[in-house]
Amino acid sequence: MEYPTYRLESHTAAMLAEAGLSPLDVESMVFRAVVEDIDGGVDVTTVATVPVDQRGRLAFVARAPGVVAGGVIVAAVLDVVCGEDKHINLAAREGARVEAGQTILEVTARTHDLLRAERPALNFLGHLSGIATLTRAWVDAVEVTSAQIRDTRKTTPGLRGMEKYAVRIGGGVNHRMSLADAALVKDNHVLAAGGVAEAFEAVRTAFPQVEVEVEVDTLDQLDQVLAAGADLVLLDNFATDQLTKAVARNAGRAKLEASGGLSLPRAREVAATGVDYLAVGALTHSAPVLDIGADLTVIEQE
């Protein structure tokens, strides 16, 4: 299948599409990152120190243990910077656990191009691998339960698709990608509508085909939205004993999502109450970057 792109090779575009990413969106973001880094000029250090015809091999190597995400984005960076004059070896698959010193990806190309691609590639790879690594830690923490780890819309502007992709790679599941995907009735909507049940009914009437999730702060509000027929209920800042009571009152009628005040040490305790999801904004807004380095080897100089 052909994908409409400007600079990406067809197999890169196919990999991105298979990963659930828009090739055109990724290409646009990558191009902006590359242009930002050169800022209309040249790489003065490389131009001054590296022979123009020199070729090299750049290895992206983990400096710390983690979970790999973003190799497909690095391939897009290399397409934009190097064109077809390169060879890429994806040494570690997406979602693989890597140890310090393990090579994630290697590319052979003109050294000038490699050094221009290095920082944008590392920025994407380290950030997305950091999200996948943190997500995997949460997933591992609740593995003895049936609960799933779910992200939020607390994403970096412009990077939502990539960041939610990294969550999937880490074993988490995505909540809505945009405001149009599903309804989430929160406290401000409840205030504007005149009540939690009223807000739910308003959305259900206006958009009957859309899944409606309702945020509640108390068990009494939970009873109201369950009676109204909510598909999914977000239990905001519930203590563990309240979560247990909420699961019992729900009796399987709706999916339940715990949110607010969650931390990794508390993850298993919350999951053990029987909720279906743990909503973790930190997956995307607070994940530490995975430390990854880029090591150059000169292989040819004309």
> Which token pair is 179?
């405001």
Which segments of the chain does DSSP mark as H helices, in order?
10-18, 23-38, 44-49, 71-82, 111-141, 160-169, 187-193, 196-206, 219-228, 240-250, 267-271, 282-285
Pairing of strands 97-98, 148-150: unpaired
186 counts as catalytic:
yes
Give the Cα separation of 84 and 97 in Å (integer): 29
Check 79, 151, 236, 257 and give the catalytic one.
Answer: 236
187 counts as catalytic:
no
pLDDT averaged per 10 residues, the chain (length 302)? 72 95 96 93 94 96 98 97 95 98 98 97 98 98 97 96 98 94 91 90 92 93 92 95 98 96 95 98 97 94 60
Check 32, 63, 186, 253 and give the catalytic one.
Answer: 186
- For 10-134+288-300, CATH gives 3.90.1170.20
Task: Look up the pTM and report it.
Answer: 0.95
119 counts as catalytic:
yes
Non-local (6+) Cβ contacts of 224 within 8 A are: 195, 196, 197, 216
Q: Which residue type occupies 68?
A: V
213 counts as catalytic:
no
Please state which architecture CATH assigns to domain 140-285.
Answer: Alpha-Beta Barrel (3.20)
The 3-state secondary structure of 223-282, one letter per residue: HHHHHHCCCEEEEECCCHHHHHHHHHHHCCCCEEEEECCCCHHHHHHHHCCCCCEEECCH
164 counts as catalytic:
no
Q: What pLDDT score does 7 carry?
A: 85
* Sequence spans of domains, the chain: 10-134+288-300, 140-285
Check 119, 176, 204, 255 and give the catalytic one.
Answer: 119
Q: What pLDDT score does 196 carry?
A: 87
